[in-house]
Structure 1
Amino acid sequence: MEAEIAGLVAAGASAIVGAMATDGWQVVKQRLARLFSRSQPQAYNAVLVDFEETRRDLLNAPTHERVRIASIHEGEWRARIRMLLVADQDAVREFRKVLEEIDSVSVGISADGATFSANAYDNGRVYQQGSGIQYNG
């Protein structure tokens, strides 16, 4: 179980911090806050504030600092995820579900620029645009 938790902690911190810099973050942030505050429901709003502070740091970071800032926050969230999963074995299953949801909505930051991904269902359309030169081929 320890190896499983270690893998979830690493993947979870990276996924959460990566998702914070995307529009898809709004879809999963409340679910994550509920999960992190399940043993102390009164902590729900404090978790949301922590998420927003991390997100603000990521979005306001200069481009050349984003990877470093993301790494710092991943470390902070790894510690919190580990405490959650070790203290509450039932949280492991729920955390996996949230990670799957993050994977389906996220767009992440990579070291050499932005990486875009999107899913559209049932005749949905997706439009994405970054900055710089656009090539329509």
Structure 2
Amino acid sequence: MDPELTSFTQTAGTTLVTLMATEAWQHTRDGLTRLWQRLQPDRAHIVSDELDASREEVLRARSAADQEMLSELCLQWQGYLRRLLLAQPEAVEDLRRLLDDVDPEATAHAARITQHGTASGRARVYQAGRDMHIDER
């Protein structure tokens, strides 16, 4: 998969999980369900159920300040979206439009983030586009 598509699916998955706890959720959910219905109708019902279950998990994780669960949900949806876009590459623009419609800031910034790091010897490089927790003992 090309790096731009990888970056987009990472951003889209994270944006989706973030939107699950907002008032824009129903519009986002309906748009995603329609997208899956059009592209993979046999999976649309399963994805719709997964969206509902994930939203419940996001709300519980937020109330418990469970960052690990939120990160796992982001990874889960990044994977779902990556598989969808690999199978249906023409859907990238449809998904981008849907997310732009609900959260224009999220996808606008995604295209501008570039990180480079170089380490040599025993040096380490830590980079994050958002929160980072490093626990070395």
Q: Distance in 1 between matches of 2:42 and 2:28?
A: 19
Extract structure 1 runs of 4+ deviating beyond 6 A: none
Secondary structure in structure 1 of the residue aligned to 2:103: helix
Q: Distance in 1 between matches of 2:88 and 2:50?
A: 21
Alpha-carbon contact 2:28-2:99 (below 8 Å) kept? no
Q: Distance in 1 between matches of 2:105 and 2:7?
A: 21
Question: In angstroms, what is the RMSD of aligned CA positions?
Answer: 2.3
Secondary structure in structure 2 of the residue aligned to 1:18: helix
Q: Which residue of 1 aligns with 2:111?
A: none
Q: Distance in 2 between matches of 1:105 and 1:43?
A: 29
Alpha-carbon contact 2:12-2:78 (below 8 Å) kept? yes
Q: Distance in 2 between matches of 1:92 and 1:25?
A: 20
Structure 2 counterpart of 1:85, one-letter code: L
For structure 2, which runs of at least 5 residues remain unmatched after alignment? 107-129, 132-137
Q: TM-score, normalised by structure 2?
A: 0.69
Normalized per residue, the structure richer in strand is: 1
Q: Which residue of 1 aligns with 2:38?
A: 38
Alpha-carbon contact 2:13-2:81 (below 8 Å) kept? yes
For structure 1, which runs of at least 5 residues remain unmatched after alignment? 112-137
Q: Distance in 2 between matches of 1:85 and 1:71?
A: 21
